A = this chain, B = another copy of it.
Amino acid sequence: MNTKLRIAVVGAGYWGPNLARNFRANPEWDLVAICDLDRDRAQRVADGVGGARVVTSLKDLLESDDIDAVAIATPAATHHGIARAALSAGKHVMVEKPLADTGVKGRDMVRAAADRGLVLMADHTYCYTPAVLKIRELVAEGALGDILFIDSVRVNLGLIQPDVDVFWDLAPHDLSIIDFVLPGGLRPLSVSAHGADPLGAGKACVGYLALPLANGAMAHVHVNWLSPTKIRQMIIGGTKRTLVWDDLNPQQRVSVYDRGVDLSLQAVGGEARRESTISYRLGDTWSPALPEHEALGAMATEFARSIREKRPARTDGESGLRVLAVLEAATRSLAAAELAPVADIRASADDLSLIGEAS
């Protein structure tokens, strides 16, 4: 049996306590310290898990030689600074999503980890839920065939964040999941974002992301802070089967439909012939039993194993960069939107000339 790895949690706000609780409970890890500028807050987190050293100086923390790794749960704008310092001190690093607040900073973190042979892991928590692990497995083994489209909806009455819009707040979940289940990761050909700020909050509260993929496929994400009903649903359409993940239906989260459209493509005679070879499958539905485990526990285990096995974590820094790249492109798309204007519906003088058969 290996000795336990030793970790400190940096940041005792909303997410830190969850990390602390899971590292404490995980047999791979020894939770050593909680670090936060606010000593009381750190102390409460430490008390909540049965005690841990409380540290208020990051510098002091990183100089400790009883720490192998840090888990960072601070505001996104501070991720780069903390992670870089930790990597320089030789610590493995896990970072809450998003990896950083800019792609430039994220890439610098990835490079710094690679240079030192340290693990840099993105805390894409949803990827370690039983449902998403099963979806990844089904896609990988070809159960769905080639992916045709992914439609992800994540809406509810949500807190309007002070620092980020609805894309940066919610879409990292959808994007990291799509990145995790797609073989090869999320690599859209382009990004088109549409947002609305109908309350005048100063940022998009309703958002849509269209992500064309290779081979004519498309991913699409709908995130929304203003919906009174909560929807957490992803449809993944494939050439063989289509999967629906409804995260709010604990009795049947994942359903695999053996239904679809088949289009034979021996286009011998063009259009007419092609139509005649469309066929529909209306087969059974199957819902796999899912094990019960907490996602954060599985993530803590993966972090430990990637360190011990000297390999990238399943949600490594690169996956964090792919998510960041889409978020940054979304922001650019929002800023630059040039859209198709709608024609005036009033008749114009040159309408007549366009119509042949009417007088």
- Residues of A participating in the B interface, judged by any CB pair closer than 8 Å: 47, 50, 80-81, 84, 102-105, 107-108, 110-112, 146, 148-149, 151, 155, 157, 160, 162, 187-202, 205-206, 208, 210, 212, 215-218, 220, 222, 224-230, 235, 237, 239, 242, 244, 251-252, 255, 257-261, 263, 265, 271, 274-275, 278, 280, 282-289, 318, 321-322, 324-326, 328-330, 332-333, 336-348, 351-352, 354-355, 357-358
Contact = CB atoms under 8 A, between A and B. Distances in A.
A5 to B, nearest CB: 24
Contact of A157 (B259, B285, B347): B259
Given A225-B261, A263-B200, A342 B355 contact: no
Contact of A212 (B103, B157, B226, B339): B339
Contacts of A110: 347
B242 A227 contact: yes
A229 B107 CA distance: 40
Contact of A235 (B212, B227, B257, B342): B227
A107 B235 contact: no
A275 B192 CA distance: 28
Contacts of A84: 358
B224 A341 contact: no
Contact of A218 (B104, B194, B217): B194
Contact of A198 (B112, B189, B201, B218): B218
A213 to B, nearest CB: 8
A227 B237 contact: yes
Interface-centre pick from A200, A325, A357, A358 (highest chain B CB count, 10 A): A358
A196 B208 contact: no
Nearest to A345: B321
Query: Can you list the 6 inter-chain pairs with the closest CB atoms, starting with the nearest?
Result: A228-B257, A190-B339, A196-B218, A333-B340, A148-B198, A194-B210
10 contacts: A107-B346, A108-B352, A157-B260, A160-B261, A160-B263, A194-B210, A200-B216, A201-B274, A212-B339, A228-B242
A144 B257 CA distance: 22
Contacts of A108: 347, 351-352, 355, 358
A115 B221 CA distance: 47
B222 A220 contact: yes
A324 B346 CA distance: 12
A202 B263 CA distance: 11
A192 B339 contact: yes
Contacts of A325: 342-345
Contacts of A244: 228-229
Contact of A265 (B148, B200, B328): B200
A343 B285 CA distance: 39
A156 B75 CA distance: 41
A268 to B, nearest CB: 15
B196 A148 contact: yes
B226 A148 contact: yes
A278 B160 contact: yes
Contact of A358 (B81, B210, B285): B81
Given A103-B345, A342-B326, A212 B196 contact: yes
